[in-house]
Amino acid sequence: MVGVDAMTPMPALRPWIADVTLMRPDTPLPVVHPPDATTALVYRRTGPHSGDLHVVGPRSRATCHPGKKLPMAIRVRLRPGAARSVFDVPVSELRDRAVALTELWGARAARLQHQLNELPRTDTVLREIEGALLECLHDDPDPRNALLREAVESLSSTSERITELARRLSVSERHLRDLFTDRVGLAPKRFARVQRVRAVLAGAGSARWAGLAATTGYYDQSHMAADFHALVGVTPAAFRAGHLPTVTPCDT
């Protein structure tokens, strides 16, 4: 597994950033990336004055890759809905992909990458990344943003059906699906499944399976196990026992 240390983002960015982590992929052990509804900007230092920036789109299912030894790797996970403003492409185009930032930002990304490669400390690297993000993120009065935030909150914390959610928000299911696909990268039903599976992962260490199934919105334990296996590649019990999904080569 990869070592992870939390870093603190600047206050001005906290409405748009889920978390910032310093990843320590310093062992040859496989690295498991669980399903994730967020889009992340990742900087990897590969040598004394070399490194790269990649955008990792939302993952509709877990992946498992061979471990890599890197001097530094900083990951900034954007809250669902924020990536559209930052990268100016439908987030569905990034789903289940890792894309070089230069493909999206061109020369601007190349300049930022060069600047980061010359910085000696993780905190100064993070501040430079945050400065670039601040240029893209700002309060937007578009009413669709408020609608999306409420929908994301509901599907992340309740078992509300998509039909009921759309009716409560006074929009069609199609409008809700199009909004999620464009700005989150996952359709609402897939988003809700990913959030439930992540809740199971968070509680898998100690909780009883039947109780965990109930608290995470599943019909029963077998429903939870089947959904978890579909998105992670192994059952919850197998994952807790240390069995990992099939290892595949990393594309970056």
206 lies in some domain: no
Tokens found for residue 73: 């790797």
Residue 27 pLDDT = 56
The stretch 206-210 carries a mean pLDDT of 83
237 lies in some domain: no
200 lies in some domain: no
Residue 3 pLDDT = 61
Confidence band for 193, pLDDT divided at 50, 70 and 90 = very high
CB 3 within 8 A of CB 26: yes
Nearest alpha carbon to residue 190 among 154, 162, 165: 162
89 lies in some domain: yes
Tokens found for residue 89: 């492409």
User: How many Cβ atoms from other residues are within 10 Å of residue 74's Cβ?
Assistant: 23
pLDDT tens, residue by residue, 83-115: 999 999 999 999 999 999 999 999 999 999 999
Q: Is the pTM of this model over 0.95?
A: no
140 lies in some domain: no
63 lies in some domain: yes
pLDDT tens, residue by residue, 136-184: 987 777 889 999 999 999 999 888 899 999 999 999 999 999 999 999 9
48 lies in some domain: yes
Domain enclosing residue 87, as ranges: 3-134
13 lies in some domain: yes
Strands of 3-147, DSSP E: 3-7, 17-24, 31-33, 39-47, 50-56, 63-65, 72-78, 98-100
Tokens found for residue 56: 């990792």
C-alpha–C-alpha distance, residues 152 and 219, integer Å: 21
The stretch 24-51 carries a mean pLDDT of 85
As for how many domains the chain has, the answer is 1
3-state helix, strand, coil in the chain (%, to 5): 45, 20, 35
